[in-house]
């Protein structure tokens, strides 16, 4: 196991190098002069030009530039945003909890519904339960989530009027950020009565509901399908037949004997759904005006805020690389056969 | 293989429905110019946001008006039906190009990676890892930042995003086939590396490749529509479904069909390819079918 851990950790080095080159090269591959593009063609005094060039680090030889870029990135220094003129890392950390909260809740939503539903479909195989679960998950899997979000808004917000259309919490609340998670921070409002905290909490839950469903739908469908096929495979194994022959009850076989092994490949889904969560978060945040990383990134593309784009791409991909590594390690831990492969 | 394959496919109701839907959409896309009542960018100033026929009592009573804009008009007075029909052309066109590009490049790279192994393989696999660390929208952000938004950026971004699944698939099949006797035999007869890769080994990887290509269509169309929605893909006035959806978001309360119709089109096309792809996989891989 130890050598596997070392090997797997070394494997991320070339990947980290690759994404850093992409983030670094981005600004240099833009056609035209990025400096002029950012300060605007008209009022570019030579001083402003030189300062912007230095700010972007474009006034040194390319290898020096790359070295600087990496050493700054390691110290979480990504320069200042062209639009807000604040350090990029500050902007990032103020928005990240919103995305994390949404991502975590969608993942819980997908896992807590997806796994039981997948098991149900497997044990009721070829019945209407199985067919409707598989049908629904196929539709969920094919769903354009930006449209699904709008349909949810249309039904729950406009038709029924029970959920808000956008944002994280009602305008009247100004919640001081402690953890960054509004579901927790609403309980930590200094000097507030219980009733007020409760109302703020309910407001944040109502804001979170639709984005969670929209973002969680595709992962939910993926997890349900995967759990079903994994469960079916395990239920066909010899040891399950032995358990049946021993006269064990069916629930015991399914929930105690089969489930443990069926869930092993499902561990990998965390890695698999991560990509769709990131892509989905960008769409969901844009749709629901959720003040997170995704919306910020899309805005920065529109406004050509290069330092933000660079940082957003680098930080997100580095996080994906690390999470995938952890998933692989967890998989190798629960399934020793994996350690020999790769 | 052929008879059992077709029988298996015909027995799979989902696959048949998928294939029928794909055929219908392809037909509409190809003949959009003949079927569509208007040009997709033609503007009717006097009929802005006209309701579709089932909500338009006036139109139902006067057959002439009902026929003139069957699915209503959008916020600048363009015929929605015509835009949806031309949108099928855009979406299926993107899907086709994306699959052609990613499947052909992915196959060649996968063949090389699996056949030669060693350093070549290691380098290619690390490049695949780098791509995997950038989900499709992030990759699109990179491409759009460099090339600017538009259909060509969309196609480049989405093709690059879907290439790794082809590379991995072909590489895995090549690794499985390489050590088999027929490949060794062809080597004994002096077949060149090129011949071995493309003529000896490739046909035996065809089944998973066909399945992946079908599923590649649905992923490609979905991703391209998402980029259109974010404003990174096709630009207005291109009648692209995702862009149409984004443009009419402001009218979701007053004219919900403007949002509903393009979304339904995306859902049905993607669903069709997924249904057909799943059916193909079951028909081509009897082992999986029995497992189901």
Beta bridge partners, B79, equal B73
> Is residue B193 within 8 angstroms of chain A, CB to CB?
no
Q: Span A93-303: which CATH code? A: 1.10.3720.10
Give chain B's length.
292
Tell me the count of A-B CB pairs closer than 8 A. 138
Nearest to A14 by CA among B235, B130, B147, B51: B130
User: Cβ separation of B137 and A26 shorter than 8 Å?
Assistant: no
In a domain, B129, yes or no: yes
Q: Where are the beta strands (DSSP E) in A169-232?
A: none
With a CB-CB cutoff of 8 Å, which residues 188-247 of chain A face chain B? 229, 232-233, 236
Which two three-digit tokens encode residue A211? Answer: 């984005």
> Is residue A155 within 8 angstroms of chain B, CB to CB?
no
Helical axes B13-30 vs B80-116, angle rounded to 10°: 120
Between CA B124 and CA A98 the distance in angstroms is: 36
Nearest to A278 by CA among A306, A297, A263, A265: A297
pLDDT per position as a tens digit, B160-209:
999 999 999 999 999 988 888 888 888 888 888 888 888 888 888 888 89
> Is residue A19 within 8 angstroms of chain B, CB to CB?
yes
Which residues from chain B sit within 8 angstroms of residue A14, using beta carbons? 126, 129-130
| pLDDT(A241) > 80 | yes
Q: What is the mean pLDDT of chain A?
A: 86
SS3 B174: helix
Percent share of chain A, pLDDT over 70: 95
In a domain, B277, yes or no: yes
Rounded (5°) CA angle B165-A107-B127 = 25
In a domain, B94, yes or no: yes
In a domain, B47, yes or no: no
pLDDT attached to residue B26: 94
Write down the domain spans for chain A: 17-74, 93-303
Inter-residue contact B251 to B164 (CB < 8 Å): no
pTM of the model: 0.88
| pLDDT(A188) > 90 | no
In a domain, B62, yes or no: no
Count of beta carbons in the 10 Å neighbourhood of residue B54: 13
pLDDT attached to residue A340: 64
Buried b (16+ CB within 10 A) or exposed e, A239-263: ebeebeeeeeeeeebbeebbbebbb
> Is residue B66 within 8 angstroms of chain A, CB to CB?
no
Domain count, chain B: 1
Distance of CA A258 to the CA centre of its chain: 30
| pLDDT(A8) > 60 | yes
Tell me the nearest-neighbour CA distance from A299 into chain B, angstroms: 10
Count of beta carbons in the 10 Å neighbourhood of residue B249: 14
Between CA B263 and CA B271 the distance in angstroms is: 12
Once rounded to an integer, what is the mean pLDDT over residues A287-300?
A: 91
Q: Which domain holds residue B138?
A: 2-42+78-291
Q: Phi/psi of residue B197, each to 5°?
A: -65, -50
| pLDDT(A42) > 70 | no
Percent share of chain A, pLDDT over 90: 34
With a CB-CB cutoff of 8 Å, which residues 238-257 of chain B face chain A? 242, 245-246, 249, 252-253, 256
Task: List Cβ neighbours of B7 (8 Å cut-off, separation of 6 or more).
Answer: none
User: Cβ separation of B249 and A276 shorter than 8 Å?
Assistant: no
pLDDT per position as a tens digit, A69-116:
899 889 988 888 888 889 999 999 999 999 999 999 999 999 999 999
pLDDT attached to residue B290: 41
pLDDT attached to residue A40: 67
- For residue B99, give the CATH number of its domain: 1.10.3720.10
Between CA B154 and CA B162 the distance in angstroms is: 12
| pLDDT(A341) > 60 | no
Tell me the nearest-neighbour CA distance from B237 into chain A, angstroms: 18
Exposed/middle/buried for B17, CB within 10 Å: 0-12, 13-18, 19+?
middle
Which two three-digit tokens encode residue A94? Answer: 């103020």
Query: What is the DSSP track for B57-89?
Result: HHHHHSHHHHHHTTT-B-TTS-BHHHHHHHHHH
Rg (CA), chain B: 23
Residues of chain B with pLDDT under 70: 1-3, 56-67, 286-292
Q: What is the ipTM of this complex?
A: 0.87
Beta bridge partners, A87, equal A80
In a domain, B16, yes or no: yes
In a domain, B211, yes or no: yes
Once rounded to an integer, what is the mean pLDDT over residues A211-234?
A: 92
Between CA A188 and CA B216 the distance in angstroms is: 48
Inter-residue contact A275 to B135 (CB < 8 Å): yes
Which residues from chain B sit within 8 angstroms of residue A232, using beta carbons? 291-292
Inter-residue contact B170 to B114 (CB < 8 Å): yes
Nearest to A136 by CA among A69, A54, A206, A218: A218
In a domain, B154, yes or no: yes
Which residues from chain B sit within 8 angstroms of residue A317, using beta carbons? 133-134, 138
pLDDT attached to residue B121: 93
């Amino acid at each position: 196991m130890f050598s596997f851990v070392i090997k797997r950790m070394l494997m991320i080095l070339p990947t980290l190098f690759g994404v850093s080159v992409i983030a670094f090269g981005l600004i240099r591959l833009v056609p035209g002069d990025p400096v002029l593009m950012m300060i605007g063609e008209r009022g570019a005094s030579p001083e402003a030009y030189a300062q912007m060039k230095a700010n972007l680090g474009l006034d040194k030889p390319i290898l020096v530039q790359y070295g600087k870029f990496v050493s700054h990135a390691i110290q979480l220094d990504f320069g200042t945003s062209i639009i807000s003129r604040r350090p990029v890392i500050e902007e990032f950390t103020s928005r990240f909890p919103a995305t994390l909260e949404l991502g975590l809740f969608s993942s819980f939503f997908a896992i807590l519904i997806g796994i039981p539903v997948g098991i149900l479909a497997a044990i009721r195989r070829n019945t209407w339960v199985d067919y409707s679960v598989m049908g629904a998950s196929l539709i969920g899997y094919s769903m354009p989530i930006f449209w699904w979000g709008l349909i949810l808004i249309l039904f729950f917000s406009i038709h029924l009027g029970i959920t808000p259309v956008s944002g994280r919490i009602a305008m009247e609340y100004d919640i001081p950020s402690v953890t960054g998670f509004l579901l927790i921070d609403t309980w930590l409002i200094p000097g507030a009565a219980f009733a007020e905290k409760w109302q703020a909490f309910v407001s944040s839950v109502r804001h979170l509901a639709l984005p969670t469903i929209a973002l969680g739908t595709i992962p939910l469908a993926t997890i349900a399908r995967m759990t079903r096929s994994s469960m079916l495979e395990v239920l066909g194994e010899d040891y399950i037949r032995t358990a049946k022959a021993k006269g064990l009850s069916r629930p015991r076989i399914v929930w105690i004997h089969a489930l443990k092994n069926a869930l092993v490949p499902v561990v990998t889904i965390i890695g698999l759904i991560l990509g769709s969560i990131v892509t989905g978060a960008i769409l969901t945040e844009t749709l629901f005006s959720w003040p997170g990383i995704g919306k910020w990134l899309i805005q920065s593309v529109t406004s050509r805020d290069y330092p933000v784009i660079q940082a957003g791409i680098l930080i997100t991909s580095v996080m994906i690389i690390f999470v995938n590594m952890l998933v692989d390690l967890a998989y190798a831990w629960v399934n020793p056969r994996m350690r020999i492969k790769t | 293989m052929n008879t059992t394959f077709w029988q298996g496919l015909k027995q799979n109701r989902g696959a048949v429905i998928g294939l029928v839907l794909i055929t219908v959409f392809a037909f509409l896309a190809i003949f959009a110019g003949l079927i569509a009542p208007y040009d997709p960018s033609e503007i009717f100033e006097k009929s802005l946001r006209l309701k579709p026929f089932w909500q338009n009592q006036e139109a139902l009573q006067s057959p002439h008006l009902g026929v003139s804009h069957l699915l209503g008009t959008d916020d600048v007075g363009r015929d929605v039906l015509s835009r949806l029909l031309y949108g099928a052309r855009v979406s299926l066109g993107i899907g086709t190009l994306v699959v052609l590009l990613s499947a052909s490049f992915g196959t060649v790279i996968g063949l090389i990676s699996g056949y030669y192994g060693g350093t070549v393989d290691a380098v290619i696999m690390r490049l695949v890892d780098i791509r995997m660390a950038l989900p499709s929208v992030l990759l699109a952000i990179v491409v759009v930042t460099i090339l600017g938004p538009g259909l060509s950026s969309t196609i480049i971004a989405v093709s690059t995003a879907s290439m790794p699944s082809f590379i991995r698939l072909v590489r895995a099949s090549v690794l499985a086939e390489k050590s088999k006797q027929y490949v060794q035999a062809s080597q004994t007869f002096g077949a060149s590396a090129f011949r071995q890769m493309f003529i000896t080994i490739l046909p035996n990887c065809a089944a998973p490749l066909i399945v992946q290509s079908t599923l590649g269509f649905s992923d490609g169309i979905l991703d391209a529509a998402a980029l259109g929605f974010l404003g990174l893909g096709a630009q207005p006035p291109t009648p692209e479904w995702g862009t149409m959806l984004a443009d009419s978001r402001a009218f979701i309360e007053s004219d919900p069909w403007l949002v509903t119709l393009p979304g339904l089109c995306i859902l049905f096309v993607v669903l069709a390819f997924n249904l057909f792809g799943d059916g193909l996989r079951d028909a081509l891989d009897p082992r999986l079918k029995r497992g189901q």
